[in-house]
Amino acid sequence: MDPLLSVRNLSVTFDVAKPGAWPWTPPRKLHAVSEVSFELKPGECLGIVGESGSGKSTLARAIVGTIPSSGGNIFFEGADLANMDTRDRRVHRRDVQMIFQDPLAALNPRMTVGEIIAEPLITHEPNTPRAEVKKRVGALMERVGLLPNLINRYPHEFSGGQCQRIGIARALILKPKLIICDEPVSALDVSVQAQVINLLMELQRDMGLSMIFIAHDLSVVKHISDRTLVLYLGRVMEMAESRKLTTLPEHPYTQALIASVPIPDPVLERARPRPVLEGELPSPLSPPSGCVFRTRCPKAQPSCAGARPMLEDIGGNHLVACPFHEAEQVLAVGT
């Protein structure tokens, strides 16, 4: 089966001026995403995890097209989105939609719920009759768990979970093929998180959607995604089937991430080993040479400061970017 989305060596850099520098001083380069590659099959969900500042949201926005990429390719159904101009990319934009982290901030406070959900439809299909627009908006509101009689209310009249449902409905109104969820449940209560996650899984199954799901919570990623990609300082550290990655992680960074997730059992929580990452996340303005994780890695060797380790397939489509990788049995998150 041909992949729906293929990202190859994607990089995103930003120019950052030096504080107090002269206007003609060359800016510094902030490396937000560096040579990231992966594929996404139709109907598959890929989870992306990593610390704050690892480049997860930047990667998502580069795929959607809200920020330009600095290098690499983004192939969607064979078309290279990264190197398209604005006019050509508009044709594909309806097939790639995004759900944002802050549900209320992502909605226009001056527009009603009906107007918010209908806006993409009116933009891409301006000749759609008003009656048809209202019918489709009402049906989609019911599908995401909102009463159609709330169509004329404004975002501030809804809870955080309801606002996120509005955002989901807006993303689905054009019947896209790919949904990118940028930490869609991190701002919600735990009970509401479960409802939204289950809704996304139902919609993915019923509509045949492909999905990229970004989150900090590995238990959530394990629950919803088929495969998981681990980012650190803009680079891929490990990628594997979600259940395997959360039970037998190979990369030291993945092992530390999993160990940081608490287990809701005091006995197991006290008994399990807990590797602790020392030091701070390096600045993307001056990333370490060689392996970017070496400054915090407990297994770092002098050779790690040399050439950057490439992703190696160790079997079963399990990719690891570490020459000293070693599987470590851990208690699966969410147990």
Q: What is the pLDDT of residues 183-222, one digit of tens each?
A: 998 878 888 888 999 999 999 999 999 999 998 878 888 8
pLDDT of residue 273: 67
- From 258, 264, 300, 265, select the one nearest 279 (Cα to Cα): 300
Predicted TM-score (pTM) of the model is: 0.91
Q: Is residue 51 part of a domain?
A: yes
pLDDT of residue 2: 86
Torsions phi, psi of 304, nearest 5? Answer: -70, -20
Q: Is residue 213 part of a domain?
A: yes
CA–CA separation, 44 vs 64, rounded Å?
17
pLDDT of residue 247: 86
Residue 235 is part of a domain; what is its CATH number? Answer: 3.40.50.300
pLDDT of residue 64: 92
- For the chain, the domain total comes to 1
Q: Is residue 57 part of a domain?
A: yes
Q: Is residue 141 part of a domain?
A: yes
- Which range marks the domain in which residue 205 is found? 5-18+28-246
pLDDT of residue 214: 95
Amino acid in the structure at residue 210: S
Do residues 141 and 173 make contact, with C-beta atoms less than 8 angstroms apart?
no
Q: Is residue 71 part of a domain?
A: yes
Contacts from 121-128 at CB under 8 Å and sequence distance 24+?
121/173, 121/174, 124/93, 124/94, 124/174
pLDDT of residue 277: 75
Residues of the chain with pLDDT under 70: 265, 268-269, 272-276, 328-335
